[in-house]
Structure 1
Amino acid sequence: MNGRQSPTNTRRALLRAGLGLPLALGNAGLCAGLWLPLGARAAMPGVDAPPEPLPPRPVVVPPLHQAQLANGLTVITAPLHELPVVSALLLLRVGAEADAPGQPGVAAMTATLLAKGARRGGKPVDATALARQAESLGSALDTASGWRSSSLAMTVMRPKLDAALALMADALRHPLLAADELERARAQALDGLRVTFKDPAALSGLLLRRAWWGDSPYGAVTAPAALQQLKLDAVRAFHTRWYRPEQAALVLAGDVSPDEARALAQRLLGDWRAADHAAPPLPAAAAPQPLAAPLVLLDMPGAGQSGVAVAAPFVANGATDRRAAQVASAVLGGGYSARLNQEVRIKRGLSYGAFADGETQPGGGMFAARTQTDHKTAAEALALLRGEITRLAAEPPTPVELVARQATLVGGFARRLDTTGGLAALAAAQWSQGRPLADLQRTVPEILAVTPEQVAAFARTHWTPERLRAVVVGDLAAAAAGLGAEAQPQALRLTMQSLDLMRPGLVAAK
């Protein structure tokens, strides 16, 4: 090559030199400049040093358009025309909070069965055929259920959108809700619960929800006994009662205009009429009802490790200090370098990770910190979680710490805007929570405006020691004395036999 190195050979030489490997004979001309210790040469970004960061880009939320059909159905459109792809969500503003008292799991099972067969063109189409119809459109029919939300979703190429929406509309409006599919879904859910009940970390999360929310709708946990008792009549009644156009929204994000979205909604869902009865009222906002005991200890003999979880107050939907709460949550548990992981994993090596997040509901919220550790260090991990939560009131984040955590929040938000599915989910969450779509435009500036003093003030107001509730699930016989009766005299002590997740006090009736 006339004595010149090709770009490929040059890169190879650089990499070999950076690794301390001999250079090939053909690279002899480079040896004089490269056969030096790594520290004696200028680092090349992307080879022997991290790539240089690009300049920050502004986070741009695409314009969101909202309309309503005559039957009450809401239509939300987020036009993105870069690619011929559209993500579609059919959403009901109802979820597990609408389950009847003592009958958890009905809302989730109803959503699951939407994709397990429907009437199409007046004919029944079973689950397998329905799945094949979705696959023929290059997608899948995904269902989900959460708090104040039950949904169907598909992402398709633009030419397939009409057919996909027709499929989704039939599944939402005319599900078969067949007995054999209920039994199959019940068996799968019970298998999942059997795994959960053998996992101390997962089980500690269920107990923490009950210990924090108590007998409010948000404290309901679907235990195996509830699943076994779930009746098909309850599922069908839930669908008839709650699946109504005035409770529903169609969200389209991608290569579609607001006018096209409205026309599609009118053609495929405009004739949807609710049942004759009046629309039921949405469940009233419910505040947390924490357990009296500050600590629940569940003995799980033979468990490999202990699950440790701590709950603290969080904000309700629409609270004026919700951004300070969001940043405070991120300072403690929002990533590898956040405080909880620093203290539990990095400094002490007690766990592979310690993280936290906040949950908002209409009447209040729950901040939950979690980790998994050896039984002998469970008491130490518990003290660290509690201590870091309350310490934030006196030790606000440093400027560097705050910027890092704000960047984590902004980055996570921005990544959701990069896909049609993420954008559709953001818009759907705003609508299901009763928040204006325009609030999404203010998300980033509001997060970046939070100060260290506001974070500390939030912690002083909400995260005082007496308001915390905690759960430890593990082999208590193998735990250190820090979890014994003398160290934790106020703890509620349970065995796997005495545990009853269906009761707000967690103790099985005698």
Structure 2
Amino acid sequence: MKLMLKIFTLIIVNVLILLPCAWATPPIETLTLANNARAYLIQTKGLPIIDIEVTIDAGERYDPTNKKGLAALTAGLLSLGAQSGKRTLSEAAIADEIADLGASLSVAAGGERASLRIRSLSRADLRQRVVELGATILAHPSFEPNIVAREKQRLIAALLEAETKPEFILERRFKKAVYRDYPLGSFATPQSIEKIQVSDLKQFHQLFYRSDRMTVNLVGDLSPLEATQIAQALILQLSPTGPAIPALPLLTESPVEPATARETQIAFDAQQTHIALGMTAVPRNDPDYFPLLVGNYVLGGGGFVSRLMNEVREKRGLAYSVSSYFIPGKSNGIFQAGLQTRNDQAALALEVVRETIARFIIEGPSPADLLAAKANLSNGFPLRIDSNRKLLDNLSAITWNNLPLDTLETWTKQLELVTVEQVRLAFQKHLAMNRMQTVVVGASVTPKK
């Protein structure tokens, strides 16, 4: 009996290990729309729910130099009032309609893009109403002056509070150090928010919120015909095109720095010192994306099995956590490593992080490390697509970055093809310690002479 139990247990364990390899990845279907927009569908039948994202090429990188925050404020105001013909939708009316439908609707803008997200039951009458509401706020925001004034003050107050937090200061100063004069290197301030007027919001919306700058992504219990009708309805009220928008400046590489990395030190009265170091890196569609992904798992993305965690925490107890990661975008990206540590340990912790990264750039991973990294990433892949929302996140990333539509189907295969030499060459090509930017918020880490 015990022998049979052991055999049964081994069978179950082996099945669980092999499950990720057999995980069925749903295909991405292309839908045909008018008005120069693109639309894509992933069909799922498990739940009577649909998730929709309208991606708009209207991110913070398009903010005017003296009015940073315009893109985010424009997006945030869309769901706070709309005016379409004789129909006026107040902020309260929009919120009540969403609640009555048991749906969710939100609009936000990030560095590269803005997005409208909708979640609804797939029942035809319910989804039709929330889609109509989404289409109205996309095309006809009212930008009511009193609401604009209130939201400006709310944003200003939030910025003032955030500026008292070391992690917020670190994030902003690090991106400024890396991006420098590129649009993603500057951010909204209370002063820039105060300068934004209703006319600026209307002009930004008119220029950027049009169907030739939009992609509609849908996931859920929908047929291709139903998905096409929904996507078409969402963009129907928008202008199909508009005036040419000036091209963004190219992100050029930072000039080669001296042998020691550039540091920005910001005094802050706290028990912990916050540290970030890194540089510009690859866009998501770069051929070296997978070698960098796998290599970074070994370096600092694999939690307790990573080199950084072993050197900084396990061997020396300098920090509770330390990590590194690549953040790829459509046209560029960032490599960043970081940690928090006691003030009196900051100099040593930074030295260890730099030495560990420098050594990894030269040596790359061992064959055993590479094999373990690929296995962990591959076995964790089902958790990246185990819900409609995660599928939508993946679909959005694929369509925004112009990746092949079979990216989800080939993701684990791409991992398996990565070699030790590819990782080493990719890290040496894209990272260099003499171009790394370091930002320290807290205690000074300059070694005493």
**TM-score under structure 1 normalisation?**
0.78
Identity of aligned residues (%): 28
User: How far apart in 1 are the matches of 2:383 and 2:255?
Assistant: 35
Per the alignment, residue 112 of structure 1 pairs with: 76
Q: Please report how far the alpha carbon of residue 290 of structure 1 lies from its aligned counterpart in structure 2 after TM superposition.
A: 6.6
**Alignment map for 1:397-476 (pairs within 5 Å):** 397-410=365-378, 413-476=381-444
| Among candidates 51, 61, 65, match of residue 29 of structure 2 | 65
CA offset digits 1:380-428 (Å, max 9, x no partner):
1211221222111233223443234334444554323211111122112
Q: Which of these residues, 243, 266, 283, is aligned with residue 248 of structure 2? A: 283
Structure 1: unaligned runs, 5 residues or longer: 1-40, 46-50, 477-481, 487-510
**Relative contact order (C-alpha < 8 Å, sep 6+): which is higher?**
2
Q: Distance in 2 between matches of 1:62 and 1:370?
A: 36
Q: Give 1:163-242 correspondences, 5 Å limit.
A: 163-242=129-208
Cα pair 1:312 1:462 within 8 Å, conserved: no
Match of 2:294 in 1: 327
Measure the CA separation in 2 of the matches of 1:356 and 1:297: 20
Per the alignment, in what secondary structure is the counterpart of residue 351 of structure 1? coil
Q: Does the 8 Å CA contact 1:334/1:405 hold for their aligned counterparts? A: no
Amino acid across the alignment from 2:206: T
Q: State which drifts further: 101-110 or 266-275.
A: 266-275
Closer, same or farther: CA 112–428 of 1 in aligned 2, 3 Å: same
Larger Rg: 1 or 2? 1
- 2: CA distance, partners of 1:296 / 1:68: 50
Shift of 1:71: 1.0
CA deviation map 1:194-237 (0-9, x unaligned): 34322223311211100011001121222333223333322221
Deviation at 1:274, TM superposition (A): 4.1
Tell me if the contact between 1:131 and 1:141 (Cα under 8 Å) persists in the aligned partners: no
CA contact (8 A) 2:36 2:240 kept: no
DSSP-derived class of the 2:383 partner: helix
Task: Tell me the equivalent position of 1:315.
Answer: 282
What is the SS of the residue equivalent to 2:363? coil
Deviation by residue 1:26-52 (Cα, 9 ceiling, x = unmatched) = xxxxxxxxxxxxxxx99x99xxxxx94
Match of 1:263 in 2: 229
Q: Cα deviation per residue 1:330-375 (whole Å; 9 max; x = unaligned)?
A: 2222132222222222332222211222122455432011111111
The Cα shift of 1:472 comes to 0.6
> Contact between 1:315 and 1:325, CA under 8 Å: does it hold in 2?
no
Do the aligned residues in 2 keep the contact of 1:89 with 1:152 (CA within 8 Å)?
A: yes
Partner of 2:358: 390
Question: 1:158-196 CA distances to partner (integer Å, 9 max, x unpaired)?
Answer: 112212211111111111222333333333333333343
Aligned length: 433
Distance in 1 separating the partners of 2:327 and 2:108: 18
Distance in 1 (CA, whole Å) between partners of 2:442 and 2:190 is 20
Specify the SS of the correspondent of 1:249.
strand
CA contact (8 A) 2:295 2:364 kept: no
Q: Using structure 2 for the length normalisation, give the TM-score.
A: 0.88
Contact 1:95/1:108, CA 8 A, preserved across alignment: yes
Is the partner of 1:392 in helix, strand or coil? helix
Alignment match, 1:339: 307
One-letter code aligned to 1:241 = L
Counterpart of 1:77? 41
2:418 match: secondary structure = coil
Which ranges in structure 2 are unaligned for 5 or more consecutive residues? 7-11
Name the aligned partner's letter for residue 99 of structure 2: E
SS state at 2:72 partner = helix
CA–CA separation in structure 2 for the residues paired with 1:385 and 1:132: 51
In structure 1, what residue type is equivalent to 2:37?
A: L
Amino acid at match of 1:339: R
Mapped partners of 1:119, 1:404: distance in 2: 56
Choose the corresponding residue for 1:124, options 76, 88, 96: 88
* Letter paired with 1:76: Y
Shift in Å at residue 77 of structure 1?
A: 1.0
Distance apart, 1:460 and its partner CA: 2.2
* Residue of structure 2 equivalent to 1:483: 446
Q: How far apart in 1 are the matches of 2:348 and 2:385?
A: 40
CA spacing shift, 1:341–1:272, aligned 2, 3 Å? same
1:145 lines up with 2:93 in the alignment: no
| 1:308–1:381 CA contact under 8 A, matched in 2 | no
Contact 1:211-1:291 within 8 A present in 2 as well: no
CA–CA distance in 2 between the matches of 1:288 and 1:231?
35
CA change 1:94–1:268 in 2 (3 A) is closer
Counterpart amino acid of residue 335 in structure 1: G
Aligned partners of 2:256 and 2:110: how far apart in 1? Answer: 23
Distance 1:90 1:313 in 2: 28
From 55, 59, 62, give the equivalent of 1:91: 55
1:254 Cα deviation (Å)?
0.6
Q: Counterparts of 2:246 and 2:375 in 1: how far apart (Å)?
A: 40
Tell me if structure 1 keeps the 8 A contact 2:103–2:121: no
- SS at the partner of 2:128? helix
How many Å separate the matches in 1 of 2:91 and 2:370?
A: 49
Confirm or deny: 8 A CA contact 1:288 1:363 kept in the other structure.
no
The superposition leaves residues 2-27 of structure 1 with CA deviations (integer Å, 9 ceiling, x where unpaired) of: xxxxxxxxxxxxxxxxxxxxxxxxxx
**Aligned-CA RMSD value:** 2.6
Identify if the C-alpha distance between structure 1 residues 193 and 416 changes in structure 2 by more than 3 Å, giving closer, same or farther.
same
Whole-angstrom CA distance in 2 between matches of 1:181 and 1:407: 51
